[in-house]
């Protein structure tokens, strides 16, 4: 065999060459991150579980909402701040909150609901940011290739925000944590997120507004028309998120 060919297959210096290391999977990285960040774990569990618990509490004690009256600017201010706290701290789901406002207050409470949404965005984003402030730093350290990919996809996140918000299956509180963890600007989250929330918010509000009882409003969400609308919004959000992700990839 030719000496040059032998040199190709048997390289004395091959033993001294560094071995390629296998990149850790994203799930392994997330597991390591959460093991060292218990506060972040508590936060994600909170926004995932507490709204459901709050819903059960509201349905068993909703009668006190009948005592709320809006007669002055101060009443509107207190209502807006209350909605912001309830949604920003993930005490209730947004759709149930909109349904309750529609049933107990009607159109007079709709502007306060929207203002509460805007303030809740900031509050939820703030807590998500504080609890996950070094999330991206650790993620990039473990897998540097992800830095370019995520920065490319979050450089113009307008469409992504809109279609995440329009989804009936992605909770408001969880999406706030997600946007904060990815360092997406709060201004863009509010500017493009509020329009995305309007379809399902208005649907829930109208359901409460025209219902004969609060419990009846909850039951009416299972009607074929509402289920069909929710399915359409879900499919639209999946299509939009996919298109936004692929467009930034190309």
pLDDT tens profile 165-195:
999 999 999 999 999 988 899 999 999 999 9
Angle formed by the axes of helices 94-104 and 38-61, nearest 10°:
30
* Residue range(s) defining the domain that contains residue 146: 25-62+70-249
CA angle 119, 123, 129 (to 5 degrees): 140
What distances in angstroms separate CA 191 from CA 4, 35, 140, 194, 200, one per listed residue? Answer: 65, 34, 28, 6, 17
pLDDT for position 249: 53
Q: 71 in helix, strand or coil?
A: coil
Percent of the chain with pLDDT over 70: 87
Q: What is the pLDDT of residue 146?
A: 72
138 in a domain, yes or no? yes
Contact 177, 88 (CB under 8 A): no
Q: How far apart are CA 122 and CA 93, in angstroms?
A: 16
For residue 226, being part of any structural domain is answered with yes
Query: Rounded to whole angstroms, how far apart are CA atoms 70 and 73?
Result: 8
Q: What is the mean pLDDT of residues 53-64?
A: 92
Please tell me the predicted confidence (pLDDT) of residue 198: 93
pLDDT tens per residue, range 16-57 = 444 434 445 666 777 777 777 888 889 999 999 999 999 999
Q: Is residue 140 part of a domain?
A: yes
Q: What is the pLDDT of residues 98-131, one digit of tens each?
A: 999 999 999 999 999 999 999 999 999 999 999 8
The rounded mean pLDDT for the chain is 85
Query: Residue 166 falls within a domain, yes or no?
Result: yes
The pLDDT of residue 248 is 54
Residue 175 lies in a domain: yes
Nearest to 196 by CA among 211, 180, 176, 210: 176
Q: Kindly state whether residue 14 falls inside one of the protein's structural domains.
A: no
For CA atoms 196, 79, 171, 202, the dihedral sign is negative
pTM here is 0.81
Mean pLDDT of the 78-104 span? 96
Among 128, 138, 167, 143, smallest CA distance to 40 is for 128
226 neighbors 220 (Cβ within 8 angstroms) = yes
User: What letters, b where the CB count within 10 A reaches 16 and e where it falls short, cover 163-177?
Assistant: bbbbbbebbbbbbbb
The per-residue pLDDT for range 122-169, each reduced to its tens digit, is 999 999 999 888 877 877 777 777 777 777 777 788 999 999 999 999
Contact 182, 245 (CB under 8 A): no
Average pLDDT, integer, range 191-207: 94
Distance CA 145, CA 230 (A): 36
The pLDDT value recorded for residue 188 is: 93
Does some domain include residue 3? no
Determine, yes or no, domain membership for 145. Answer: yes
Residue 6 has pLDDT above 50, yes or no: no
CA 7 to chain centre: 57
SS3 state at 133 = coil
- 3-state class of 132 per DSSP? coil
In the chain, the number of structural domains is: 1
Higher local confidence (pLDDT), 115 or 218: 115
Q: How many CA atoms lie within 13 A of 19 on its CB side?
A: 4
């Amino acid at each position: 065999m030719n000496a040059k060919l032998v040199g190709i297959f048997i390289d004395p210096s091959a033993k001294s060459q560094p071995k390629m290391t296998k990149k850790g999977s994203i799930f392994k990285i997330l597991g390591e991150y959460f093991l060292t960040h218990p506060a972040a774990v508590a936060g994600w569990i909170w926004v995932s579980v507490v709204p459901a618990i709050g819903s059960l509490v509201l349905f068993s004690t909703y009668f006190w909402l009948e005592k709320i009256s809006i007669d002055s600017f101060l009443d509107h201010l207190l209502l807006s701040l209350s909605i912001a706290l309830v949604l920003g701290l993930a005490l209730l789901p947004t759709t149930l909150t909109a349904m309750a406002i529609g049933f107990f207050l009607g159109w007079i409470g709709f502007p306060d609901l929207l203002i509460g949404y805007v303030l809740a965005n900031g509050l939820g984003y703030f807590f998500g940011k504080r609890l996950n402030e070094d999330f991206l730093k650790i993620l990039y350290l473990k897998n540097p290739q992800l830095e370019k990919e995520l920065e490319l996809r979050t450089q113009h996140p307008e469409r992504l925000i809109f279609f995440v918000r329009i989804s009936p299956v992605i909770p408001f509180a969880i999406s706030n944590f997600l946007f904060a963890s990815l360092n997406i600007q709060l201004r863009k989250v509010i500017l493009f997120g509020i329009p995305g929330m309007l379809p399902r918010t208005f649907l829930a509000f109208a359901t409460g507004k025209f219902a004969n009882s609060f419990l009846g409003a909850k039951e009416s969400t299972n009607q074929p028309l509402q289920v069909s609308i929710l399915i359409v919004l879900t499919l639209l959000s999946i299509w939009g998120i996919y298109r936004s992700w692929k467009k930034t990839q190309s």
